[in-house]
Each structure stands twice: as structure tokens, then as C-alpha cells.
Structure 1
Amino acid sequence: MAIVLKGYPRLSETFIAQEIEGLEHAGADVRLVSLRHPTDSHRHPVHDRVQAEVLYLPEYLYQEPWRVLTALLAMLRNPRLRSVLGLWWRDFKRDRSANRIRRLGQALVLAHELPGTADLLYAHFIHTPCSVTRYAARLLDLPFAISAHAKDIYTSEDWELVEKLDDALWTVTCTAGNCAHLRPLTKRPEAVHLVYHGLDTTDLVIAEQEAAKPVGNSGLRLLTVGRAVRKKGLDTILQALAQLPDQLDWHWHHAGGGELLADLKAEAARLGIAGRITWHGSQPRDVIRDLYNQADLFLIASRVTGNGDRDGLPNVLMEAASFAVPAIGTRVGALPEFIEHDVSGWLIEPDDVPAMAAAIAGLAADRTRLERYGRAAALRLQTGFAFNHCLDPLVNLLQAVRETKADTGSTTIADLPSK
């Protein structure tokens, strides 16, 4: 199986690396194909455990013209090239962009350079990676499958979602809301499956054993881990913190890089709360684990942006729960699917500053309730979002591909069971 990714490795997509590692442990022969080279300054331990080799496609065609030209010349002998060019032209007429041209060039290189043999191409993200995968799969006469997440779904045009869903063997997605959005778009709604990412807590459990959480009457330790981008709603958090009672002792830690970081620091200064905030920036895994272990309450203020971008089920929410740190979160994406309101955390509407401030102040004044939420969050993770349990449906889908090919010699949509 070849897994097509928009970039690898990426700290913001450790859930994908976790899935790859799990598939390798389940016996899958995995090859990785990345549309971009890595840019992060740190790596997650799971990236070092993944064994699969990575084929990096030309990120921009002009940077490696000979690879693209060589692939094109080789594909001229491919009887399926005409069909692929027809498919691409129909797409290009509806999306006349340089990105669409790049997708075709990357697909040619993928089809030409993919090492060995593969039974299936599997695209993470239904937008650009899936376009490259779809073209390459047709060139290689292979089936393809999709893992759809959040931004990739809601920033794509419906015509493209419809055609990709209909052409794919099956699609998995990580939230019930995504399923409800995608299933009506395809003539095969039964082929769209809910598969949560789940969380492998191996690294986090080790950290928890290494350092005991501080006790005593120290102030409320608040934490957010995530990129400083608009969909994360960090401005909502800042405004809520500024509304907390003067007598409340609190400190907020933020870990993550992002394009809005400088603006957010300036806003914190304007609000007069800069001295109660520590901006850690992008950090290696051991620092992040220590932050979880020190925290009392996790804040996640996700919102839906103007172009439809939003969170799905952020790994950081589950990571916090693995340390028995409950969350105040917004009703966006799969946050309400993980946070049980007034059981394992507290839910508010997006951009509701007074509600977030009130929830923080309320939990600060009731440490017993805060600790109860934390225990419930850890239990929620263990019983509903354990990694191996969440991986099983995906393994079963892949096993069906292998078994069908063994029985029939092919893996077409008609051959494969959809459930």
C-alpha cells in the first residue's frame, strides 16, 4: 500500500504517523509518498519508529523539470494516459489554477517512480493529495481510498467531493459530523466510514510516571497546545482571560508556532495580561509532555473560519485527557464527540468570550469538580478512543482489499464489500 500525504513528517499531523506505525505493526507493507518536504524543526518520537521509506514528489514542477519530463515520456506508452488527461481536463475547466497543473505533474511522477508493487493507493486528505492519488491510481490501474479530515473537506467544492467519493473504494473520516456531510454527496453512502484517530498514549504514560503533577495551593495552570492560526480561536482565549476576576491566580501556557503568534502577543500586551502568559513556541515532545503534566485545565477554542476551515478531533485534546487534564472546548468538529459536557469537561459555543471566562472561573473555584472532570476525561479516552480499538476498522477495510485481490485477482469497487 502506498500512502499519499501532503507533507511528511509534520508535527501537526502526528495522528497520521501514529496510524502508519499501527498499520506497520498490523503487518501492512507501507510506502509513503509526500507532496512536500518537511519544514518542522522538531520531530515526534513516532516519526522515528515508522519504518516506511518516503518518496518525495516535486513540490513545484519547475524545481525538478527532468523528473517531470522523464515521467511524462514514460507515461506516453501508458494506454491509460488518454483517460487520465481527459479526467484532468474536466477538472481543470472547473478549477483553472496552477495547483491543478501541479497535481497532474506530481501524479505522473508518482505513477512512474512508485517503487515495487502496490495493491492500493491511500490518500490522507481529500483535497490536493487525493487529486494526485486519483490521477496516479488511474495511470497505474489501481484502486484508491481516502482519509478525509476537516479543512480538506470543507474547503473543497462539492463537485470534486462527489466525484472523488464515487471513484474511491471507500472513505474514512474522523468525525460523525464529517460523515453526515459526506454521505449525502455520494451514490455509495455506505462506503463512508467513521474511524476516529484514537491516541497511542505510550509516550505520554511514560512521562506521567516520570514526573508527579505539582500539588498544593498554587494558581490555576492553564494550557493550550496548537498552532497560532485563526481556526484555533486563540484570540477568544485571550479575551476570556482578560475578563477573569482580578483576585483569581492563573497562568496560561501556549505551545506552538504559527502565523498569528506576533499579533496574539501584541493583543495580550494590549489587554494587560502579557505577564501571566508564557509563549513556548514550537517545542520538542518532552517539553510538551511536561506542560501536560503541569496543567490543571486545557483550553481549546476552535472555530469555523470564513472558508470553512475547522478542527476535526485534535490529538492535543486527547493527549491532555491522558494526563487527566479536562478541557473547556467549543462545539466545533468532533470536540463535542469527545468532551462530555459537565461530565468530562465543559462545552461552549465558538467565539463566546463571556462563556469561556465564566467556565474558567467556575472550575477554578471548584477544584473537586475540576479533578472529577479530569478523571472522567481519562476514562473517556481509555474506553472510547484507545488507539488500537480505533485502528481496527481501518485494518479491516485494508484486509478486505487484500482478501479480495487474493480471491479474484482484482480490487474494483464492484468486487469489494462496502461494510
Structure 2
Amino acid sequence: MEQVSYRIMRGLVKGNKGLRFRITTPRPFGNGKKFIDEFDPGARAFPYLGRFGWRSYDVFSCHIQKLSRECSHIWVTGTCAASLAAIRRVKMPKVLSHHYHHFENSTSRLKWSGFYELLCRGLSAVTFPTAFTCDEALRIAPWLKKKAHVVPNGFDVFFQGEEERLKLQQLARQSLKLPQQAWIVMNAGWLVPRKRFDIFLRTVAEVKNRLPESYFVICGSGMLEAQLKRLAEDLGLGRSVRFTGWVDDLSLYYKASDVLLFNSDFDTLPCAPMEAASYGCLVVASLAYGGLAEFIDHEITGFLFDKHDTDLLASSILRLAHDGTLSRNFREAAVRRLTHDYSMENGLAFYKDFFGSAN
């Protein structure tokens, strides 16, 4: 969500040089601090002490009240209870960008019902990146209907045709020291249980057995990194897979790769498949629960499965490796979908209108 927010802010500022952002967060800044400084060098983070940050909440809330005197609108870019609680008494237009799915377990409905009732009644608008997630929210809190908006994440498209893609792929592989002649499969994200990088590794092990010249890249970090590295060794992938650690800018990896293999138990609308497609990288995905089908039409813009079937996933990757016509058709169809439904113009339209009175 952070990268999506940065793109929106950059697009809004580009179209309105007088627009300014004041940024604060109840949690310490993460990897995105350098992007935040681009918009607000005075941005302030708080330590989030105690359960739900209650020990640092008062000072954070006071800071919100202070910033509100300089601002005309409030934008909360994520489902942070501390942030939403801190703005309840502020009287100005307020929008929440909600990017998370709702139904994970038997307590999910109760949790989200309380969230919307206690923290969202005073909001002017709530945006969702997919109709899938918006529909979930309305099943929980039907009264949100007049406030709810489906706002697609916007992406720039960098793919400029197959000849240019192959030229950039060669240069990217040279820069990253990746094998030039390999069929490269990648994924990127947090190495956490729901992201199912274990499925990625088991799938690419099957690909390697059937396509020896293949190579694999995992960009990301997280609690499962050591465990996943051991699994890669156990699967015989030691020299055929690269763990890069966290990468702020994935563009070179998208250019260098042939396929993004994305696997997750639940995701609203993951950015990696769409970012990859914007560079002409093919997408094969398995998502047990989420809204990715709004971007991937199975066997039209990519391969999308609702079960983590490693044999099926591997066969799909190999099918693309051996069928240039199919790969070209998928690549071009995905770019058309991005251009038509997920352009930066579409992603910015709601926010331009909402913040319009700030001009």
C-alpha cells in the first residue's frame, strides 16, 4: 500500500504544484522513509508503545490535532486504528484508503464490524482497490454504501514492444549479474506465512527438473527467510535461486525476469503481479482468497488458480517457456488491461476530486 500511496501523492503534486502533504504515523518509519521525505521532510513517526500503541497514543493524537490546523483534508492510507481514532474529533473531509481483505477466520466479521462502527462513522469516504474488497465491507457494514468507492491502484506502463523488452532484459540481467540465457522466474514480497514462498520454491523445483536452464529470484525479507533458504537447499535449488533481501526498486528485476510466480493465501489486490506486467513480465499466480481475478483473466492476461497446485503452476510456467505466441498474447493483453483499467489517470481521479477544494 505504501508504494501505491507514494505514486498517488507524486501524481497529485505533479498536477498541482501548490498541493502539500503533512505526514505522520503512529509507528516507526520503515523502508519508505526516503519516499516520505520527498513529500514532507518534517514528517514525524511515533514509537507505538504498548498494545495497539496506547502508551504513545496521547502524544500522537496531540500531534494530529496540531497538524490539522495546517490542513484542509485528512487521508489515512491504511487500516490503522490508532490513526483513525486520533482523527475522530477533527472536523474536515476525511478519507480512508482500505487495502486489506476482511474474511480470514471465524472472528473476522465481528472484528471488522467493530472497526467500521467505532472508527469509520465520521469519515467522508472509504476507498477500496477492488470491487471484491468493497463488497466484503458492505456485507459487514451496509451503511458504508454511500461512502464506499472502488478506486483502482494506478500503474505506469513501461512495456514498449517485444524487441525493446528483450533489449532491456539483456541489460537488466547484465546489471544484476543474472544468467543471460536462463528462463528466469521471480517473486517479491514479505517472507511471511501467508505469502507462500514455500509454494514458489516447490513449484520452481519442478520447473528446474523439466527445464534445467531455468533460474529463480526471490526479492524480499521477513521472518521466514532462513527457513526458506533451508527449503531451497533441501529441494536442490541452492545454486539456481537467489535471495536478494529487501529491494526498494524492483524495476530491474521485472525487466530481467520472464515470469512472476505469485502465491498467497489471501490478498486484496497484490501489486507485484501488476507491476511485473507493466514491464512485460508474464504472470502465473495462485491465490486462495482475494481479488486478483479483477486483473488476471485466466488464460487471457495470465494464469490464475485458486489452489496452490505446484504441478499445475509448474506446467503453466513451462507452457509459457515453450510457446512464444501464447506468451506474447498474454503480455499484450495484460498491458491492455493495465492501460484501460489501471492507469495512473484512473488511480488519481477520485483523489483529485476529493482533494479538489484544497486548490
Q: TM-score, normalised by structure 1?
A: 0.72
Structure 2: distance between partners of 1:334 and 1:294: 27
Match of 2:263 among 293, 298, 301: 301
* Counterparts of residues 15-414 of structure 1 (less than 5 Å): 15-27=4-16, 28-40=19-31, 50-60=38-48, 98-99=51-52, 101-102=54-55, 104-114=57-67, 116-128=69-81, 131-138=82-89, 140-150=90-100, 156-184=111-139, 185-201=141-157, 212-214=168-170, 218-244=181-207, 246-248=209-211, 249-285=213-249, 288-304=250-266, 311-331=267-287, 332-399=289-356
Query: Structure 1, unaligned stretches of length 5 or more?
Result: 1-11, 62-96, 305-310, 404-419
The amino acid that maps onto 2:227 is D
The amino acid that maps onto 1:161 is Y
Structure 1: distance between partners of 2:103 and 2:12: 24
Structure 1: distance between partners of 2:42 and 2:262: 33
Structure 1: distance between partners of 2:355 and 2:298: 35
What per-residue deviation string (whole Å, max 9, x for no partner) do you get for residues 383-406 of structure 1? Answer: 21111222102222333x659xxx
Preserved contact between residue 120 and residue 142 of structure 1 (Cα < 8 Å): yes
What per-residue deviation string (whole Å, max 9, x for no partner) do you get for residues 16-51 of structure 1? Answer: 1111112223433321112233233x877x656x33
Q: Matched residue of 2:260: which SS? A: strand
Query: Structure 2, unaligned stretches of length 5 or more?
Result: 172-178
Preserved contact between residue 152 and residue 346 of structure 2 (Cα < 8 Å): no
- Pair member with larger Rg: 1
Preserved contact between residue 18 and residue 200 of structure 1 (Cα < 8 Å): no
Cα pair distance change 1:134/1:217, threshold 3 Å: closer
Structure 1: distance between partners of 2:248 and 2:144: 42
Deviates more, 1:213-222 or 1:268-277: 213-222
Preserved contact between residue 328 and residue 345 of structure 1 (Cα < 8 Å): yes
The amino acid that maps onto 1:257 is S
Q: Matched residue of 1:212: which SS? A: helix
Preserved contact between residue 148 and residue 172 of structure 1 (Cα < 8 Å): yes
Q: Matched residue of 2:39: which SS? A: coil
Structure 2: distance between partners of 1:151 and 1:123: 17
Residue-pair matches, total: 339
Cα pair distance change 1:178/1:303, threshold 3 Å: same
Cα pair distance change 1:43/1:232, threshold 3 Å: same
Identity across matched positions, percent = 21
Q: Matched residue of 2:87: which SS? A: helix
Structure 2: distance between partners of 1:29 and 1:333: 34
Preserved contact between residue 207 and residue 214 of structure 2 (Cα < 8 Å): no
Cα pair distance change 1:103/1:336, threshold 3 Å: farther
Offset, 1:122: 1.6
Q: Matched residue of 2:200: which SS? A: helix
Q: Matched residue of 1:157: which SS? A: helix
Q: Matched residue of 1:246: which SS? A: helix
Q: TM-score, normalised by structure 2?
A: 0.83
Q: Matched residue of 2:30: which SS? A: coil
The amino acid that maps onto 2:44 is Y
Structure 1: distance between partners of 2:2 and 2:103: 16
Structure 1: distance between partners of 2:125 and 2:234: 50
What per-residue deviation string (whole Å, max 9, x for no partner) do you get for residues 60-104 of structure 1? Answer: 45xxxxxxxxxxxxxxxxxxxxxxxxxxxxxxxxxxx73262474
Structure 2: distance between partners of 1:165 and 1:317: 30
Q: CA RMSD in A?
A: 3.0
Structure 2: distance between partners of 1:24 and 1:217: 39
Q: Matched residue of 1:274: which SS? A: coil
Partner in structure 2 of residue 75 of structure 1:
none
Structure 2: distance between partners of 1:268 and 1:217: 22
Q: Matched residue of 2:23: which SS? A: strand
Structure 2: distance between partners of 1:57 and 1:212: 39
Correspondence 1:14 to 2:28: no
Offset, 1:301: 0.6
